[in-house]
Amino acid sequence: MVQKRNPPAPRARPAAKKARPLPAAATAAAVKAEPKRRGRPRAYQPEVALARVLDVFWKEGFAGTSLDDLSAATGMNRPSLYGAFGDKRELYIKSYEAYRDRARQRLGEAFAAELPMREILERIYSIALDMYLSGKDGPRGCFTVMTAASEAVFDPSIRDLVTIGLAETDRFFGSIFKRAQQRGELSAAANPQVLAQLASATLHTIAVRARAQIPRAELEGIVKGALDVICGK
């Protein structure tokens, strides 16, 4: 008779060793090595971001600007840009509106000064040249003339903004000439509307020439000649 053998008892597994905690320096290094997420900055300021967007569009135009360019300029990723301002077209329109607001404010300050007609016009053109010749990478000219007018061909909303902007400038100059007539600085036979269009056209030509990096002294000479015609020596 065969005697049955009992199976051997299973061996006990050695207890797992407890993991040693990482030194504080290693933990800090691991945390530091984690990639930073790009998004809306904590100190996000819409005005600052929009000003940077304006600078890019002003230099490169709508077609020449990519969302990556705008993201790099503002430090915001695409979702954050969309959330704050909308798509690229909306960004362009908002930046153009900001440009118009800035120009309107500065021209309004010049008009508010109680100066003779020629002096106030000289101040306006000086302000315009400051804007047209600005830009860390070189003169940019006028946003309306140099970039928005091109986009107006394809986009009705931008075309409306350009048309409104041009009309506002004409009315602004017209108000200067009407006031000059009331003061006796301008002949009663003069047509304020025609003079306003000539004054606006002078703005446009110095904007284009500024973008072409014509020296300021030469642009100021063009302004002086235009004022001699408009105001009469």
CA distances from residue 175 to 29, 126, 165, 197 in whole angstroms, order as listed: 66, 19, 15, 12
Residue 220 neighbours by CB under 8 Å, 6+ apart? 125, 129
- Checking if the pLDDT of 17 tops 60, the result is no
Residue with tokens 């269009």: 197
- Checking if the pLDDT of 200 tops 50, the result is yes
pLDDT in tens, 43-94: 468 889 999 999 999 999 999 999 999 999 999 988 888 888 889 999 999 9
| pLDDT in the model for residue 109 | 87
E-strand spans in 100-169?
none
- Checking if the pLDDT of 139 tops 90, the result is yes
CB-based contact 185:116 (threshold 8 Å): yes
| pLDDT in the model for residue 111 | 84
User: For the chain, first and last CA: distance in Å?
Assistant: 140
Q: What is the pTM of this model?
A: 0.76
Residue 161 neighbours by CB under 8 Å, 6+ apart? 93, 96, 97, 100, 148, 152
d(CA 150, CA 88): 16
| pLDDT in the model for residue 11 | 53
CA distances from residue 69 to 29, 44, 51, 53, 65 in whole angstroms, order as listed: 32, 18, 14, 9, 6
d(CA 197, CA 226): 12
The average pLDDT across 128-152 equals 92
Structural domains in the chain, CATH included, are 100-231 (1.10.357.10)
- Checking if the pLDDT of 168 tops 50, the result is yes
